Amino acid sequence: MIEPNGIAREAECEISICIVIFKPDRVVLERTLVSLRNALARLSPRLARLYIVDNSAELSDHDWLREMLRGLTYEIIAGHGNVGFGSANNMVLDRIGKFHLVLNPDVEMEPEALEHGLAFMLDNPDCGLSTPEAFNPDGSKQYLCKRYPAVFDLLLRGFAPSWVRDYFCDRLQRYEMRDQAADIVGWDPPIVSGCFMLFRGDVFRKLNGFDPRYFLYFEDFDVSLRTGKVSRIAYVPAIRIVHGGGNAARKGPWHIWQFARSAAIFYSTYPLKFF
């Protein structure tokens, strides 16, 4: 079911945004949407269109969501059930704009984030994907750029107790590219996080979006590596966000299983590196 808000559609908008939700925390989602609204307000007269893809199994009442979206050009896509993060994002692949933002429902961006991001993309036509500077809700730095992962790195970062992570601190810092300057543009990180991916629209279409084999986790690893083969990726610190997600191990057995399943798909597609 596609539920537009009644505003006429143009042939192509300047920027499209897709947020995939699944039984969302309404307070968290509202903060995301408020920050998005504030960022979009700085882009006038550019055209922007928001897609909310609801992966909740039941067809829920969206009156509360429509209230949050008042004044925005949007579509709510629902009724298809939980098809996974990548497949849900791909549902809007045929209607994305000149630029396309993949946005998590737990991300708050600074008001200037999209303005800076689009300016960078316009000034750097060789950039097909940009990633922001990110912070945890407590204000600490979050590292969205990664080097190619060894299995050991993933186990350390996702599942090891803190004292083990502390012992391998230098290794983890290298994996998270902490040796790169945080206050200047960084080109060609191998992998960037899927929480905020600002694509050039034609690049995302050329990639055919996300690989639907990944239900959850590693779809951003895969799309990053594929993007790097057809365009360039840039870390742009002028784009600033707060991201509240992560930590699959703390979310319970189902998330751990999805993490392991997606890791198996990833390493069956890309070189297996144990250490």
pLDDT in tens, 128-176: 999 999 999 999 999 999 999 999 999 999 889 999 999 999 999 999 9
Evaluate the omega torsion of the peptide bond into residue 45 and state whether it is cis, within 30 degrees of 0: yes
- Rg over alpha carbons for the chain, rounded to the nearest Å, is 18
SS3 per residue for 11-44: CCCCEEEEEEECCCCHHHHHHHHHHHHHHHCCCC
Contacts of 74 (CB under 8 A, 6+ apart): 4, 5, 49, 50, 51, 52
DSSP symbol at 264:
H
- Supply the pLDDT for residue 61: 76
Q: 245, 248, 246, 195: which is closest to 224 by C-alpha?
A: 195
- Supply the pLDDT for residue 231: 98
Model confidence at 225, pLDDT cuts 50, 70, 90, reads: very high
Count CB-CB contacts under 10 A for residue 201.
Answer: 19
Model confidence at 6, pLDDT cuts 50, 70, 90, reads: very low
- Supply the pLDDT for residue 59: 60
The mean-pLDDT minimum among 5-19, 49-63, 221-235, 254-268 falls in: 5-19
- Average pLDDT value for the chain: 92
Coil, helix or strand for 206?
Answer: helix
What is d(CA 55, CA 24) in angstroms, rounded to the nearest whole number?
Answer: 10
β pairing state of 15-21 and 48-54: parallel
The dihedral sign for the CA sequence 158, 160, 271, 185 = positive
Model confidence at 8, pLDDT cuts 50, 70, 90, reads: very low
CATH architecture label of 2-269:
Alpha-Beta Complex (3.90)
- Supply the pLDDT for residue 249: 54
Location of structure tokens 């809007």: 92
Location of structure tokens 């630029």: 99
- Supply the pLDDT for residue 71: 86
- Supply the pLDDT for residue 7: 42
| Cα dist from 129 to 5, 65, 99, 203, 261, whole Å | 29, 29, 10, 8, 26
β pairing state of 232-243 and 127-135: parallel
The dihedral sign for the CA sequence 152, 157, 160, 165 = positive
Location of structure tokens 């699959």: 248
Check whether 5 has a pLDDT greater than 80: no
Q: 60 or 55, which is more confident? A: 55
